[in-house]
Amino acid sequence: MTTPSDRGIHLSTIGAQWDSLRVPAAGVHLDSAAAGRSSRAVIDTITEHLHAEAAHGGYVAAAARADDLAATHAAVATLIGHDHGDVALVGSAQAAIRELLRHWRRPLSIWVCPTEYGPNVADFAHHGHTVTTLPVADEFGHVDVAATEAMLLKRPPDVLHICHIGSRTGIVQPAAELVALARAAGVVTVVDAAQALVQIDSRTGADIVYGTSRKWAAGPRGVGFLSVRRSPAAPPLVADLPAPAELESAEAAVAARLGFGVALRQILDLGPVSVHAGLSAIGGHLRTQVSAVDGWTVVEPSDEPSATTTLRPATDADIDVWHVRAHLLRNGFVTTCAESWRSPLQPAETVLRISPHLDVTVGDLDAFVDALQRAHPANAAPA
């Protein structure tokens, strides 16, 4: 069995510590944007609570962990800059936005980033909302903040919805700047932090934030959150929403919620600033490496402050992304083939998404780059 020390030097100063908290991966996990690898403590917490439910009854076991469940709310709130009483735990990020839309009964005008998540766009349309895509400042799809400010002065929308980091690429939108502009214009702000939570600083000042446990937080699948910041000056779209206790189903996977709390407290113990810096450095290192691989173009700029790197086949390359992803998986590298449904407001293309976490080593990425190079048709082994 491969141990962390066998795989080489970690790219982050806290990488070895993050690695030591987890069971060894069966290969190289480069897919945290899909689902992160939970720590032993998260797994043990979930397992122990399931035993407690069997021994004492589900509701008795949950009541005994009330303080720990409250700590999960508090950890979410700390990472997004809300109060612990703002947070409701739900089944997923998608469940969170759908619960929100269920309470907004009238048609709204909603502005979104060009990197908006596809299922969100479909949900907005399903509820009769009018969607406007914000202008971009560059070839990468970053929102043009100055142009957005000018639009807000003319005719502000009801809601500004910001997908902080999209599902298909590692492009980071200027969420805090956009939130500040929208707030000054009296516009309700919502941030989709599904990919952002833990990967980058998610304290944007937004009225509403939602996300998931299973990605960069490395919690279990099946837990999400919806947090609504209320104040005496909150607009009706915010003030009229139900209290967190009403948004949060009492019938839930309590063990998973407890596991989520453990995962977040491990992040807080390591220090969010160190985690963000480590992941950003990993993304920069990886983009430099893969930029030299034949047949591919890196989607993000080299200094994008995220760990997610995406590759598109060069226009003259005979590359099938799905075949490459399958080749990598056979060789022990877990990645995602990210199709255009993930960001339908951008030009349609399928990309290879690579999203390593803090446990990745120099050796892991060297081996990945070698496998990726060998996946090119010109370098394939003869039959």
Instruction: Give me the residues paired with residue 192 across strands.
Output: 163, 210
Instruction: Give me the residues paired with residue 351 across strands.
Output: 338
Tens of pLDDT, residues 61-87: 999 999 999 999 999 999 999 999 999
Quick one: pLDDT at residue 249?
87
Q: DSSP 3-state assignment of 243?
A: coil
Quick one: pLDDT at residue 250?
83
Quick one: pLDDT at residue 7?
65
Which two tokens mark 97?
A: 């936005």
Instruction: Give me the residues paired with residue 310 across strands.
Output: 353
Q: Beta-strand (E) ranges in 248-350?
A: 296-298, 309-313, 333-334, 336-338
- Write down all domains in the chain, each with its CATH number in brackets: 4-39+271-375 (3.90.1150.10), 41-270 (3.40.640.10)
Quick one: pLDDT at residue 376?
78
Q: Answer for the pair 361, 3: CB distance below 8 angstroms, yes or no.
A: no
Contacts of 299 (CB under 8 A, 6+ apart): 140, 169, 170, 171, 309, 310, 311, 312, 351
Quick one: pLDDT at residue 6?
53
Q: How many CB atoms lie within 10 A of CB 127?
A: 16
Q: Average pLDDT of each block of 10 consecutive residues along the chain (383 residues)?
A: 58 93 95 98 98 98 97 98 97 96 95 98 97 97 98 97 98 98 96 98 98 98 96 90 92 96 98 97 96 95 97 90 96 97 95 98 95 80 47
Quick one: pLDDT at residue 118?
97
Quick one: pLDDT at residue 232?
85
